Amino acid sequence: MSENIANEIIKEVAVWGVPQMIDLIITTYVKPKLKKNTKDSNSILEEKLSEYLRRSYNKYLYMNTIVFKNQQKTIDDLYIPLTVSKRNIKPKVGYANILINKFPDNFIPLYTKVLLIDNAGMGKSTIIKYLYLEAIKQNKGIPILIELRRLGQDDVIIDFITNEISNIRKKFDNDDVYNLIEGGEFIFFFDGYDEIVEESKGKITDALREFISKAEKNMFIISSREESSLSCFGDFQRFDIKPLRKEEAYDLICKYDNNGELSKQLITKLENEENLKIINEFLTNPLMVSLLYKAFEYKSNVPYKKSIFYRQVYDALFEDHDRSKGGAYVHPKKSNLDIEDFYRILRILGFLTLKEGITYSKEKLIEILKRSKQYATGIEFKENDFIYDITYSVPLLLKEGTEYKWIHKSFQEYFAASYICIDAKENQSKYLSQMISNKKMDRYYNILDFCYDIDYKEFRKVIIYPTIKKFIEYYENSYTDEPYENYNAEDLDVRKNLNFIYENTYIIKIDKAVPSIDEQLKYTKEKFKEIFRGWKYVSDKNAAMLISNTGICVGYLKGYTNRILLKLLSSKQSPIIKKDIHTKSKRYSENIFNQLVEGEHLINENPANILNNHEIFGEVNRFLIEYLPQGDGTNLIFDYAECVKFKKEIEEEIKFEKENKLFL
C-alpha cells in the first residue's frame, strides 16, 4: 500500500470518528445544562449544536494554500507544531514557552483570556483552527470559532453565534443559547481581529468586550496582528508565536512534496550557497517558507527580497504550466489579459480593497473591478471572467459560499504596496505619510514593509528622514545641563533614546495600602486614566506594566509609531538601529525604588528629578529597557552616529536632485 493511499485512509477514519467525538461533547457539556430547562427547544438546540460542530470540524480540517493550487490539504498534512511565548511579569523569569502540538492545558484553560499576537504569516489562524479541532478531539469544552472579518458593525455577538449554530433554519431564540453560554465551558475562538474593516472596528470592539464581560465563565482567545486598539483587552494574557527554527522550516519544506527531490534540492541550496544566508530570517515565518518553496518550484532559484518572493509566486501561479501537455502549455485566461495587464489590475484591486477588508460578496467585487477599470486606461475585460481567473486560473482569491476572500491578507497588501510604489507616483509620498499617522502604522506595517523593498529611495525620504531629523535635534539638545557632564556616555545615549521613543513615560509607586496583585493592577489602571486623560483604553500592555510584588509599574502614552518604525528598520538590518542594547548597569535592583515616594514619577531631564540621580541613573535605564514594550522581544534604539551619517546622505541627495532637474 502506498504512503499516499495510507494517508487518505487515515483521513477518512478521522472524519468517520467525528460524530462520536461530538456526541461526547454534547453528553459532557450540553445535556447536563439543558436538563435544568424543560423547554421543548432543548432537543433542537442540542441537535443544532451537533450539526454546527460537525460542519465546522469538516470546514477547518481542510486548508487552502498557495503552494497547492486548487488542492485541498488537511491541517495534519501541513501543520508543524508551533510554539507560543508569554512574557512573564515577574522579574528575571523570562518567557513561558508552550508547544502547540495538542490542546495544551497550560495555555487554555490555564489562561481563560488569551491574545495571540504576531506578524503576517506566522500562523495565527492556523493555530486557532488547530486548537479548535483539538478541542473537539480531546473533549475540552464547547468550541465556537468566529472569523471576526465576517462581523458587521451593527451585529450583536449573541445573534451572530445563534445564526452560526442555526445555519439556515432558526428554531430557537437567543435566550436558549445565552442561557447555555452563561453556564460556562464554551471556548470562543475569535480569529483575525486585524481583519475587521477599520470603520467597524470601534463598534465591534465594544460589542466583543461587552459579550466577553457577560460570558465571563467561559474561555476566550483572540488572534490578531499587532494593533494599538488591542490595548482595550487589558485583562487578556498576550502570547506571541516563536519564529520557526531552521530544522522546523526544513521539515515544513519536506511536507510540501512528501520528502521528494524538490525539497531536498531547495534545502541543499539553502545550506550550501553562502549568498543565501541573507534570507535566513524568511525561514522563521511559515508563510514565507511556503512562498520560498513555490518560488523555487517555479524558477529553481531563491529571491533575496520579500517583494520579489511575492512577484515570483504571482508569476508561478499565472504561468502554471500544464505538465500533462509537455510542461510548456499555459492555460489561457478567460479574461484574455496577459501577465502584466493582469498584474496591473491586481495592484489596483489590492489598493482599492484596503478599506473594504479581505472578503467581498460577488456584487461588491464586481463593483470594485468596475472601478479598477477606471484606473487602468486601455485594459478591457469582463468582470465575471476576471473573477473566474482570480479564483481558479490564478487562485489568489478563495470562494467561500457566496463570498470571495484573499487567500492571505499579505497578498492584498503586496499588490496595494505595488500600486502605491509603481502606479501612484504622484501621490506616493501622501499615501506613505498617511500610513504612519494617527496610530495607523501598525495596521499598515506589512504594506510599509513591501514599500521599503519596492521603492527604498522614496521610503527613506518620506518616512525615515523626518523621524531621524527629529531624533537628532532632540538628542543634541537634551541632557545638556552641567550635572550630566560626568554621567556615563552609554547611559546618557540610552536615556535620550528612551525619552525620544516613548513620550510621557511614568513610573508609578503603588500605595502600600493596596495589598493584592489584582487590586494593584486595578489601582494602576485608574492612576493612568487620571494621568492620561482622554485616553480611551488603558491596560497593562500600553499604559501600565505592573512589576511583580514590588509595587512599581511603568507606562507611557505615546511612542507607538517610533516603536513600529524601529521594529521595521531592525528587520531590514538598517545600520541606524542598535539591537540588544545594554547599559553600564547590567541589571537593575528593585531596591533603587525604595527611595521613591508613592505616586507618579515622570521621566524627564530635570536634574532635580530623583530618577536622574547619578547613582541610580543607569539602573533606571535598565528597568525601563526591561519593562517598556519593544514589540519583537529585543531592545531597539537609534544609533546616533549612524543617524547623523544617514541624514547627511539624504540631504545631499535632495540637494543634488534639486540642482540637476532634467528638462526635455
Q: Which of 477, 651, 450 is nearest to 568 (CA)?
A: 450
Phi, psi at residue 581, to the nearest 5°? Answer: -70, 155
Confidence grade of residue 643 (pLDDT, cut at 50, 70, 90):
very high
pLDDT in tens, 54-78: 999 999 998 877 777 667 788 888 8
Q: Quick check: is 474 in a domain?
A: no
Do 503 and 435 reside in the same domain of the chain?
no
Q: Whole-angstrom Cα distance, residue 202 to residue 506?
A: 27
Do 21 and 160 reside in the same domain of the chain?
yes
What percentage of residues in the chain have a pLDDT greater than 70?
80
- Looking at per-residue pLDDT, the higher value among 639 and 587 belongs to 639
Global pTM value: 0.81
Q: Quick check: is 567 in a domain?
A: yes
Q: Quick check: is 77 in a domain?
A: yes
- Looking at per-residue pLDDT, the higher value among 391 and 327 belongs to 391
> What cell numbers appear for 243 in the block?
519564529
Do 448 and 490 reside in the same domain of the chain?
no
Do 447 and 489 reside in the same domain of the chain?
no
pLDDT in tens, 163-181: 888 865 555 666 778 888 8
Do 370 and 513 reside in the same domain of the chain?
no
- Tell me which of 178, 209, 241 is where a domain ends: 241
Domain range for residue 123?
Answer: 3-241
Cβ pair 367, 352 in contact under 8 A: no
pLDDT in tens, 586-624: 555 666 667 777 777 888 899 999 889 888 888 888 878
CATH number for position 161: 3.40.50.300
Q: Quick check: is 650 in a domain?
A: no
Do 444 and 491 reside in the same domain of the chain?
no
Q: What is the mean pLDDT of residues 283-305?
A: 86
Residue bearing cell 480611551: 536
Per-residue model confidence (pLDDT) at position 91: 41
Per-residue model confidence (pLDDT) at position 562: 85
Task: With a cut of 60, say whether residue 120 has pLDDT above it.
Answer: yes
In terms of DSSP H, where are the helices of 68-123?
A: 75-78
Per-residue model confidence (pLDDT) at position 539: 43
CA-based diameter of the chain, in Å?
A: 87
Cβ pair 575, 639 in contact under 8 A: yes
Do 495 and 558 reside in the same domain of the chain?
yes
Q: Whole-angstrom Cα distance, residue 512 to residue 597?
A: 11
Task: With a cut of 80, say whether residue 39 has pLDDT above it.
Answer: no
Residue bearing cell 496591473: 344
Q: Quick check: is 276 in a domain?
A: no
Confidence grade of residue 90 (pLDDT, cut at 50, 70, 90):
very low
Q: What is the 3-state secondary structure (H, E, C) of 462-489?
A: HHHHHHHHHHHHHHHHCCCCHHHHHCCH
Do 499 and 446 reside in the same domain of the chain?
no
Beta-bridge partner residues of 577:
638
Angle between helices 640-659 and 465-477 (to 10 degrees): 130
- Tell me which of 454, 472, 504 is where a domain ends: 454
> What Cα–Cα distance (Å) separates residue 359 from each residue in 341, 407, 567?
23, 10, 29
Report the half-sphere exposure of 166 (CA within 13 A, side-chain side).
16
Q: Which of 236, 255, 259 is nearest to 244 (CA)?
A: 255
Question: What's the domain count of the chain?
Answer: 3
- Tell me which of 200, 223, 241 is where a domain ends: 241
Cβ pair 346, 412 in contact under 8 A: no
pLDDT in tens, 441-494: 888 999 999 999 999 999 999 999 999 999 999 999 999 988 898 899 999 999
Cβ pair 113, 209 in contact under 8 A: no
Residues 6+ apart with CB under 8 A from 474: 496, 499, 500
Q: Quick check: is 319 in a domain?
A: no
Q: Quick check: is 325 in a domain?
A: no
Residues 6+ apart with CB under 8 A from 453: 305, 306, 307, 308
What percentage of residues in the chain have a pLDDT greater than 90?
38
Do 148 and 46 reside in the same domain of the chain?
yes
Residues 6+ apart with CB under 8 A from 458: 421, 428, 429, 432, 451
- Long-range CB contacts (within 8 A, 24+) of 96-103: 97/242, 98/239, 100/127, 100/130, 100/131, 102/134, 102/138, 103/131, 103/134, 103/135, 103/137, 103/138, 103/140
Q: Quick check: is 294 in a domain?
A: no
Do 489 and 447 reside in the same domain of the chain?
no
Do 517 and 604 reside in the same domain of the chain?
yes
Do 542 and 589 reside in the same domain of the chain?
yes
